[in-house]
Amino acid sequence: MNAVPFRVEGPEALPAARTEAVLRRLPSWFGREESLQEYAQHAACLPCFAIFVQARLVGFASLRQHFDAAWEIDCLALDPDLHGQGLGRRLLEACEKWLVAQGASLVQVKTLAATHKSPEYAATRAFYARMDLLLARKGNASSARCLMHDAAA
């Protein structure tokens, strides 16, 4: 595997058109048009960390504060051609460093539970497990699933 030269920037809001382009590269994760548009619009007004290869935005994480010390990764997306190369890890590490500096002690990220038989979401859960995220809650079909991360750890 060749190392991909990249840079991480943030936190700052990102133009919706740029994040939408990243999300459209991930139809197995962001295939519902309404959700895709919502995530792109959220990134335009939330603090985000972005990952670039040369000048091209290839991934981002948007962050939402719920309480003083409680945050959520609203959306995490990385060009699928770059999965497995450490870029997602570096993106989350940048988020975590900033969140700790903001006083965060708890960060949650929502994803589909293992009962959802998608290989893409299985890969997502495996990634979160490698990042030491813990399964904290599993809701019913109408509620979100979430993984929790102790940002202070």
CA-based angle 85:58:77, to the nearest 5? 80
Q: What is the pLDDT of residues 39-57, one digit of tens each?
A: 999 999 999 999 999 999 9
Q: 99 pLDDT band (50/70/90 cuts)?
A: very high
146 has a pLDDT exceeding 50: no
- Return the residue matching tokens 């030269």: 5
Q: 109 pLDDT band (50/70/90 cuts)?
A: confident
Number of C-beta neighbours around residue 132 at 10 A: 9
Mean pLDDT, the chain, whole residue set: 85
User: Could you tell me the domains of the chain?
Assistant: 7-149 (3.40.630.30)
